[in-house]
C-alpha cells in the first residue's frame, strides 16, 4: 500500500469537515489532536455486531462496508468510500451493542477518533455544536433516501438510481455484495445489468 501524503490528507479532512460548518484554525487543530491514522488490510474487521462502538472513522483511501447477519447470511447495509465517515453512531452514543459489522472491503487508510478523546473536544467549542447538528442532519437525509428506495423502487429502479447517482458503487463493489445491498439475488442483478447494458 502506498504511503499517504499527510498534508494532502489533512487538507481533504478539513475540507470534508467544513462541508458541514466552517472551522477556525484552532478548532481544526483540536480536531487533528483526536484523530489517529491507521492502515487496514482487506477483510480486517473494525467493528463486530454485538460490540460497543467506541471509534469513528474517516476514510482517506479505500472502502469499508457494513453488514448484519440474518440467519447466517450477510446483508450489506452501507458502503463507505474516500472522504466518508463510518461508525455505528447509535452504539457510539448510547453505549449499546452494535447492530452491524464494519469491515474493510479493500486495503484502506483511515483517520480514526476514540470516543474518550473525541467527546471532551467536541463539547469544548460552540462551533462543534453546529457541525454535529449539520452532520447528523445530513446523515438522516442520506439514510432516509436509502430507506425510501426500498419502499418505493423495484430492484431494477434501485440499480438505475445507483447508476445515475453513485456510479462508483458499480465499479468498486463486487456483484455479490451489490446484490445484497440492492435487496436482490446475484442472478437477478446479473439479468438487470444485461437488460440495461
In this structure, are residues 111 and 58 in contact, taking their beta carbons and an 8 Å threshold?
Answer: yes
Q: What is the pTM of this model?
A: 0.89
Do the beta carbons of residue 63 and residue 70 sit within 8 Å?
Answer: no
Considering the chain, what percentage of its residues have pLDDT values greater than 70?
98
Compute the Cα dihedral for 119, 124, 129, 135 and give only its sign: negative
Q: What band does 87 get if pLDDT is binned at 50, 70 and 90?
A: very high
Give me the pLDDT at residue 1, please. Answer: 44
pLDDT at 178: 93
Mean pLDDT of 66-75: 91
Residue 174 phi, psi (nearest 5): -55, 150
Q: Order of strands, edge to edge, in the sheet holding 73-80?
A: 45-47, 101-104, 64-70, 73-80
Q: How confident is the model at residue 20 (pLDDT cuts 50, 70, 90)?
A: very high
| C-alpha to C-alpha distance for 89 and 118, rounded to whole angstroms | 13
Predicted local distance difference test score (pLDDT) of residue 126: 85
Q: Is the pLDDT of residue 116 over 50?
A: yes
Amino acid at each position: 500500500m502506498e504511503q499517504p501524503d499527510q498534508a494532502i490528507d489533512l487538507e481533504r479532512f478539513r475540507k470534508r469537515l467544513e462541508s458541514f460548518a466552517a472551522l477556525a484554525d484552532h478548532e481544526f487543530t483540536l480536531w487533528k489532536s483526536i484523530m489517529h491514522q491507521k492502515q487496514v488490510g482487506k477483510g480486517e474487521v473494525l467493528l463486530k455486531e454485538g460490540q460497543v462502538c467506541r471509534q469513528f472513522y474517516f476514510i482517506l483511501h479505500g472502502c469499508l462496508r457494513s453488514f448484519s447477519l440474518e440467519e447466517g447470511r450477510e446483508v450489506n447495509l452501507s458502503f463507505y468510500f474516500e472522504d466518508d465517515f463510518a461508525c455505528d453512531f447509535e452504539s457510539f452514543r448510547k453505549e449499546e451493542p452494535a447492530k452491524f459489522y464494519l469491515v474493510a472491503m479493500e486495503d484502506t487508510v483511515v483517520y480514526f477518533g476514540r470516543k474518550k478523546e473525541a467527546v471532551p473536544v467536541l463539547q469544548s467549542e460552540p462551533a462543534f455544536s453546529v457541525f454535529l447538528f449539520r452532520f447528523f442532519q445530513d446523515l438522516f437525509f442520506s439514510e432516509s433516501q436509502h430507506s425510501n428506495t426500498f419502499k418505493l423502487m423495484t430492484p431494477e429502479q434501485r440499480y438505475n438510481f445507483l447508476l445515475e447517482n453513485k456510479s462508483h458503487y458499480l465499479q468498486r463493489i463486487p456483484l455479490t455484495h451489490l446484490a445484497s445491498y440492492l435487496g436482490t439475488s446475484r442472478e437477478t442483478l446479473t439479468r438487470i445489468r444485461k437488460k440495461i447494458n
